[in-house]
């Protein structure tokens, strides 16, 4: 029978709980973890005490990870016994989650656009609302479909490669160039592109914004850091203490890097081209105004995410007028 976490030798009547505190046996923290149900109940209690919002789900995900069983099996067979060593591994993962490490980093993966991406502390964990950029890109590419391979598509600040790889997986002929200023993030993107079979159509470049990319483009996508600097200390611990600062810090008002991108992109967006950038709702209107200054002939629209937040600034240049032939 397994009990909670006891890596350090302890006197017979004492034990160490998940946070390393010494507790008396019989304490709830030393509950028996020999069945799925007991382990899950214990996990939920530990995570709730640590302030984790989705304690029930996260405890289950960690249990799925250590048992290699799916959710349905775990819920259908609560009295199933945990194999030797499994409970210890579970307690170890629970401890990490209780210290507010994000579940995606603990598992080493997350889902985005129906695909599984490897993630670790070198990259931001892709967020569901960012899938909007992929949808928008697909919409923008639709008129180009017959010769999409000739279109110049760029993603700036690719991180794990979630946006670029999802797009490449969905549009088989597309080629894409993606940049990031963090070489270690590009290594993660490269591995994801290879694992998901699109590495031959993705060019990764290291550098500041559009500097490593020459020429003009038909579609530019960017989810750059946009958290106002003063708000960084108030973020939840999962984000503040674990995700890369270079992926979060958007300068004093959050829009500093986005503004620099707009300045770099002006005069490089082809007629008929699209530029879509994810923003924080607090500066969406200001970014849209800035975009109108840089792209005076373009349509600039602020789009809301499924939760109703102003999330993307979308710039569309009208196509070149076709004269009489
Ligand atoms: C918010 S994360 C987004 C990552 C990924 N695109 C996604 O949506 O999950 C921002 C990314 O931009 C990169 N970045 C920050 N400043 C940059 C800059 N000046 N030039 C290029 N990339 C930058 C960061 O390293 C990070 O990978």
Q: Do 280 and 132 lie in a common domain?
A: yes
pLDDT digits (tens, 9 = 90+) for 104-126: 999 999 999 999 999 999 999 99
Beta bridge pairs of residue 312:
278, 303
Q: Do 143 and 163 lie in a common domain?
A: yes
Asked if residue 229 belongs to a domain, the reply is: yes
Question: At 263, which CATH number?
Answer: 3.40.50.150
Asked if residue 323 belongs to a domain, the reply is: no
Asked if residue 1 belongs to a domain, the reply is: no
Q: What is the pLDDT of residue 323?
A: 66
Task: Note the helical H segments in 71-124.
Answer: 71-76, 86-98, 103-107
- Interval between CA 124 and ligand 1 midpoint (Å): 8
Is the CB of 16 within 6 Å of ligand 1?
no
Is the CB of 247 within 6 Å of ligand 1?
yes
Nearest CA to ligand 1 atom 9: 126
Q: What is the pLDDT of residue 190?
A: 98
* DSSP strands (E only) in 158-268: 176-180, 202-206, 217-222
Q: Do 45 and 113 lie in a common domain?
A: no
DSSP state of 249: B
Q: Do 67 and 113 lie in a common domain?
A: no
Question: At 46, which CATH number?
Answer: 1.10.8
Structure token pair of residue 255:
């829009």
Name the CA dihedral angle for 73, 78, 79, 85, rounded to a multiple of 10 degrees.
70
Asked if residue 296 belongs to a domain, the reply is: yes
| In contact, 205 and 178? CB cutoff 8 Å | yes
The string over 19-36, giving b where at least 16 C-beta atoms fall within 10 Å of a residue's C-beta and e elsewhere, is eeeebeeeeebbbebbbb
Q: Do 143 and 167 lie in a common domain?
A: yes
- Interval between CA 92 and ligand 1 midpoint (Å): 31
- Interval between CA 189 and ligand 1 midpoint (Å): 11
Backbone angles phi, psi at 19, to 5 degrees: -95, 10
Nearest CA to ligand 1 atom 4: 159
Which residues in the chain land under pLDDT 50?
A: 1-30
Asked if residue 5 belongs to a domain, the reply is: no
Q: Do 252 and 163 lie in a common domain?
A: yes
Q: Do 92 and 119 lie in a common domain?
A: no
Is the CB of 87 within 6 Å of ligand 1?
no
pLDDT digits (tens, 9 = 90+) for 10-41: 322 333 333 333 333 333 344 578 999 999 99
Asked if residue 123 belongs to a domain, the reply is: yes
Q: What is the pLDDT of residue 146?
A: 81
> What is the span of the domain harbouring residue 129?
109-316
Q: Which of 79, 99, 119 marks a domain boundary?
A: 99
Q: What is the pLDDT of residue 321?
A: 79
Q: Do 138 and 271 lie in a common domain?
A: yes
* Alpha-carbon span 164 to 220, nearest angstrom: 11
pLDDT digits (tens, 9 = 90+) for 161-173: 999 999 999 999 9
* Alpha-carbon span 3 to 24, nearest angstrom: 13
Q: What is the pLDDT of residue 32?
A: 79
Q: What is the pTM of this model?
A: 0.89
Q: Do 122 and 95 lie in a common domain?
A: no
Q: What is the pLDDT of residue 84?
A: 76
Q: Do 70 and 197 lie in a common domain?
A: no
């Amino acid at each position: 029978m397994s009990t909670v976490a006891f890596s350090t030798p302890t006197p017979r009547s004492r034990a160490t709980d998940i946070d390393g505190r010494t507790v008396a046996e019989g304490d709830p923290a030393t509950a028996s973890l020999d069945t799925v149900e007991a382990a899950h109940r214990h996990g939920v209690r530990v995570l709730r005490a640590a302030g984790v919002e989705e304690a029930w789900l996260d405890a289950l995900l960690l249990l799925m990870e250590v048992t290699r069983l799916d959710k349905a099996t775990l819920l259908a067979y609560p009295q199933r016994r945990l194999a030797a060593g499994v409970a210890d591994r579970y307690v170890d993962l629970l401890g990490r989650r209780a210290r507010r490490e994000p579940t995606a980093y603990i598992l080493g993966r997350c889902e985005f656009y129906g695909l599984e991406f490897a993630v670790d502390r070198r990259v931001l964990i892709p967020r569901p609302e960012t899938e909007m950029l992929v949808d928008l890109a697909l919409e923008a590419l639709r008129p180009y479909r017959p010769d999409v391979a000739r279109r110049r598509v760029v993603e700036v600040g690719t991180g794990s490669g979630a946006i670029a790889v999802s797009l490449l997986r969905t549009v088989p002929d597309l080629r894409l160039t993606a940049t990031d200023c963090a070489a270690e993030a590009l290594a993660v993107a490269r591995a994801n592109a290879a694992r998901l079979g699109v590495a031959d159509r993705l060019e990764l470049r290291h550098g500041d914004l559009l500097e490593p990319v020459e020429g003009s483009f038909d579609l530019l996508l960017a989810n750059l850091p946009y958290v106002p600097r003063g708000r960084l200390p108030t973020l939840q611990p999962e984000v503040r203490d674990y995700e890369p600062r270079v992926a979060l810090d958007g300068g004093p008002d959050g829009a500093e890097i986005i503004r620099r991108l707009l300045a770099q992109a002006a005069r490089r967006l082809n007629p008929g081209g699209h530029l879509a950038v994810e923003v924080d709702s607090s500066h969406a209107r200001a970014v849209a105004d800035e975009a109108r200054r840089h792209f005076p002939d373009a349509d600039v629209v602020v789009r809301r995410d499924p939760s109703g937040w102003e999330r993307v600034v979308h710039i569309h240049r009208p196509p070149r007028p076709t004269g009489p032939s």
